[in-house]
Structure formats: C-alpha cells, structure tokens
C-alpha cells in the first residue's frame, strides 16, 4: 500500500471528489481525517471506511474559520501524532451567473472557502510538516483557473478567480516550503460525474449536460471521481517526490479553454 503509516487530512470529503479521495487514501493504508460541515455525511464516510478495514476520524470544521481549522489540525495530531498529507478540496456551493449578475454574497462565499480556506489549512498544517521536514499538500484546482470557458455552469468569474488564486498559492507555498521537504501541487479535475451533480438536475437536463461535456474532451467522456482520487494518491505518495509547484490537469483533454 502506497500510503501505509501516513496520516491525511482531506477537507470537504463528505461527498463527491473529496469522498473518493479520502476513501482511496484509506484503502492505500493512510489514517484519514474526514472533514466537512455536515456531521451526517462525515460519519457516513467514516463508517464506510472503517467497515472496509480502514482507519478514519471524522472532524466537522469550517475551513473559512481559523479557529476551527486549528481544532481540525489538533484533532488529527491528538489522534495520530502526525500529519503527512493535506488535501484542500473544500469548495462552496455556487450558482451559474454572469459577471454582472454576481452578488457580493456570491463572490464572498466562493472566495472565502476556495482561497481563504486553502490558506488557513496550509498555514496551520505546514508548521507541523516543517518541524518534521516532510509533507504532501494537494490543492484541488480546476481548468477554470487557467482559462475562460463559455459555459457559466463551469466557469463563473468568482469560481475562476478562486481557482486561479489556488494555483498561485500552490506555487508560492511550493517555493517557501520546498527547503523543508514539503511538496505542494495543484490537481485540476475537468468535468467529473458525481452523485451530487446528477441530483441537482432533472434526468433530461442531466443527459443534455453530460452530452455537452463529453464533446469537450478528446477522450469523448466525462471523468469519474475515482480517476481523480488515483492522481491524488500519486501526488501524496513518495513516487511523486520530485514534483512540486505544478498544476496537474486531469481533464480528459478539455478543448474549450482559451
């Protein structure tokens, strides 16, 4: 197992891509901290991991609140004595809207979770990693942070700004933490099919959306959460020890970003 004896915090891991990542890391031998803001979802994921023989701890925390992030890190250290891996996956819910339709709340909520939350978690966790001179930090980004799409459902201005900021945070922290043996990378998934994305749409709308997204990849299909989880495990294990400060795209060859 590639993550045996490692300890990983995965924010926003009560559902979707985060859930897939935390489950895969547990399967690869890591003791995982499942995080989110919904206690029921957290405990459901923890229960599933433990039933499959994994080691997991659920900790509710809002990553936009520094005090709660501190409690999250302290809970991990109290339970397992170390933190080897941090995956910043938490993201705020957003609505499709043009630039001129965005409200202050639209902007603030997305940027608070997507940027401030990443900063809070890295700052709190990296101090411990620096002391141990080892760590793997993975920030979940998006192709939206690298170019503009004509699809409002995938590239709101607030979401694109947040993900672009994540990529710059990744590069900055990679420089600062590299001398301490800490790797910092962004992982940018393309259009991924999750249970949550399907339940938000009617069957007809879901089929239309899926067909549109499939046409935009050279592979002719959308991705699955487990495919993103596989890349996250690679970036979290020692096989990727010479990779840092990078934005790793896992998008099926998206063709609509300019």
Residues designated as active site: 159
Q: How big is the chain, counted in residues?
A: 258
> Rounded to the nearest 5°, which phi and psi values hold at 147?
-170, 170
∠ CA 204-152-86, nearest 5°, is 100
Sign of CA dihedral 59, 108, 115, 160: positive
Give Cβ neighbours of residue 67 (< 8 Å, ≥ 6 apart): none
CA-closest candidate to residue 114, choices 53, 77, 156: 156
């Amino acid at each position: 197992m590639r993550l045996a004896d490692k300890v990983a915090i995965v924010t926003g891991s009560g559902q979707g891509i985060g859930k897939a990542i935390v489950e895969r890391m547990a399967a690869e031998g890591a003791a995982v901290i499942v995080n989110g803001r919904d206690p029921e979802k957290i405990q459901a994921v923890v229960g599933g991991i433990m039933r499959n023989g994994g080691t997991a701890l659920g900790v509710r925390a809002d990553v936009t609140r520094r005090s709660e992030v501190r409690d999250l890190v302290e809970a991990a250290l109290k339970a397992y004595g170390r933190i080897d891996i941090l995956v910043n996956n938490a993201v705020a819910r957003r609505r499709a809207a043009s630039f001129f339709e965005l409200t202050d709340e639209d902007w603030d909520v997305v940027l608070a979770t997507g940027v401030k939350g990443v900063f809070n978690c890295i700052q709190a966790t990296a101090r411990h990693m620096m002391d141990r001179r080892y760590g793997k930090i993975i920030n979940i980004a998006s192709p939206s942070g690298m170019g503009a799409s004509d699809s409002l459902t995938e590239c709101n201005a607030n979401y694109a700004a947040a993900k672009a900021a994540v990529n710059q945070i990744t590069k900055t922290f990679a420089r600062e933490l590299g001398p301490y043996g800490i790797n910092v990378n962004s992982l940018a998934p393309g259009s991924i099919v999750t249970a949550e994305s399907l339940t938000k749409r009617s069957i007809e709308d879901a089929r239309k959306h899926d067909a549109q997204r499939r046409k935009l990849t050279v592979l002719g299909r959308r991705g699955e959460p487990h495919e993103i989880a596989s890349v996250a495990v690679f970036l979290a294990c020692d096989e990727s020890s010479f990779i840092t400060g990078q934005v790793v795209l896992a998008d099926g060859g998206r063709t609509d970003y300019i």
